[in-house]
Amino acid sequence: MQNTVEVSGKIHWIGTNDRRTHLFENMWPLEHGVSYNSYIINDEKVALVDTVEIGTAAEYLDKIESIIGDKAIDYLIVNHMEPDHSGAIGAILHRHPDMKIIGNIKTKKILQAYFPVAEENYMLVADGDELDLGYHKLKFVMTPWVHWPETMVSYDMTDKIMFSCDAFGTFGSLDGGIFDDEINFSFYEEEMRRYYSNIVGKYSNMVQKAFKKLDGIEVSMICSSHGPIWRSNPQKVLDLYYKWSNYETERGVVIIWGSMYGNTEKMADVIARHLVTKGIRNIKMYDASKTHISHLIKDIWKYKGVILGSCAYNSGMYPKVAQLCSELEHMQVKNHFLGLFGSYSWNGGGVKNLMKFADNIEWDLIADPAEIKGSPSEANLDQLEVIATEMAKRLKEEFPMDH
C-alpha cells in the first residue's frame, strides 16, 4: 500500500522522507532527516506540483500511479528548479512524454541545463497567469529570490491552497504526521528556524516583498516542499516567517568562541556567569570547533545578543570563528547587539580581526573588546564583566517585559 495522503478532495500529498542523507545540499546536517513534498491534483486535467529528490524517485513514481492509475499527467508545475524538488523530472518525462512542464522564463533557462526538454513540452507562465484543471483553478505568483531567481508560488483559487515550495519549509522528516495538527510543532520549530536562517535567510528582504505581494490572498492551507502541511493554523507559520525575515529577535545571548588551549573558553564562562547574575536567562554557548555552523546561525537568528571570542591563530582569527563571521557578512544578517573578546600568547590577531568583522557587519558594538594575554586571572577580568553588564542592560531595555 502506497503512503499517500488526501489533502483536499482531488489533491493528494505524494511526498517522500529521506532519513539516510547525512548532509542537505552536502552542507547542512540532517540529524532528523528531511521530507520532499510533492502534490498531485487528480482533476479533469492531472497536474503534478513539484517532484522529489532523485534518490527517492522509485517510491515516488509508485505513489503517483496509486492515485491516477493509467491516466496521463497533463502538467508538471515547477515552482523551483533546485534538484531536491526537480530531481525526478527526467523519470516522470520518461513515463509521461507528452506532459507539459509549467514554469516561468527563468525556470525554462535552468530546466534546460538539467533536462533537455522539447519546446512543445514547455508551457511558459507569467505573474498572475491562471490554469484551469476542471474543478481546481491555479494562479501563478512570481516570488523571485525566495530563494532562487525563478521561484514562484502556485495558488489554488478553488480551495485557497498555497503550494509554496521552499517557503515555509523545515528540516525534519514527517514521522507519521503530515499536517500541523498531527505533530508536536515544538520539535519542528528549531529545525524550521535553522532551515530558514541557513537556506532562505540571506534573501529576507525578498521574503518581505513576497509577503506584500501575497497580502490579502485568503489562505486555507500552506503546502510547502519540506515539512508539515499547514491546514489548521497557516497563520502561525506565516507569522514566524514574517518575524524571521524582519530580523525580529528574542531576549537572550549566543556566546561562540574558538579556543585552542581553553583560555578563550574560560573567558566565555566568565561572561556567561556575569550575564546570569544580571538577570539574563536565555544563554546559548558554543565551541565553534564542535558545533556545525548551521546551528550557530540558527541561534543568532533567534537571540538579540551575540558575543564572539577568538584566540589568535596565525595572526588571525580561529578558523572556525572566521568562517562564521564570513558567512554572517555574506548573509547580511541585521539587528544585533555585539560583544567581542579573545586571548593571545605571543602575538594578537583574533580580536583585531573580530573588530574588522564588527566594522563590516555594522551591528551595535556594546563595549570595547576584551583581550587577554595568556591565561585569564582575577587581575584581568574586569572588561569581561563590562561586556556582560552592557549586554544585559541593552537587552533589558530592548525587551522590558521579558524575564
pLDDT digits (tens, 9 = 90+) for 26-80: 999 999 999 999 999 999 999 999 999 998 888 899 999 999 999 999 999 999 9
Average pLDDT of 183-199? 94
Percent over 90 (pLDDT), the chain: 89
Do 234 and 254 have their domain in common?
no
Return the pLDDT at 139: 97
Among 210, 230, 245, where does a domain finish?
245
For residue 108, pLDDT beyond 80:
yes
Average pLDDT of 222-246? 96
Q: What is the 3-state secondary structure (H, E, C) of the chain?
A: CCCCEEEECCEEECCEEECCCCEECCCEECCCCEEECCEEEECCCEEEECCCCHHHHHHHHHHHHHHHCCCCCCEEECCCCCHHHHCCHHHHHHHCCCCEEEECHHHHHHHHHHCCCCHHHEEECCCCCEEECCCCEEEEEECCCCCCCCCEEEEECCCCEEEEECCCCCCECCCCCCEHHHCCHHHHHHHHHHHHHHHHHHHHHHHHHHHHHHCCCCCCEEEECCCCEECCCHHHHHHHHHHHHCCCCEEEEEEEEECCCCHHHHHHHHHHHHHHHCCCCCEEEEECCCCCHHHHHHHHHHEEEEEEEEEEECCEECHHHHHHHHHHHHHCCCCCEEEEEEEECCCCCHHHHHHHHHHHHCCEECCCCEEEECCCCHHHCHHHHHHHHHHHHHHHHHCCCCC
Q: What is the CATH number of the domain that holds 307?
A: 3.40.50.360
Q: Considering the domain boundaries, does residue 402 fall inside one?
A: no
Q: What is the CATH number of the domain that holds 12?
A: 3.60.15.10
Report the domain count for the chain. 2
pTM: 0.93
What is the residue range of 286's domain? 250-395
Do 255 and 240 have their domain in common?
no
Least confident of 111-120, 177-186, 200-209, 354-363: 111-120
Cell numbers 565553534 correspond to: 288
Percent over 70 (pLDDT), the chain: 99
Do 50 and 35 have their domain in common?
yes
Q: Considering the domain boundaries, does residue 371 fall inside one?
A: yes
Q: Considering the domain boundaries, does residue 401 fall inside one?
A: no
Higher-confidence position of 155 and 186: 155
Do 235 and 89 have their domain in common?
yes
Q: Considering the domain boundaries, does residue 400 fall inside one?
A: no
Average pLDDT of 313-323? 93
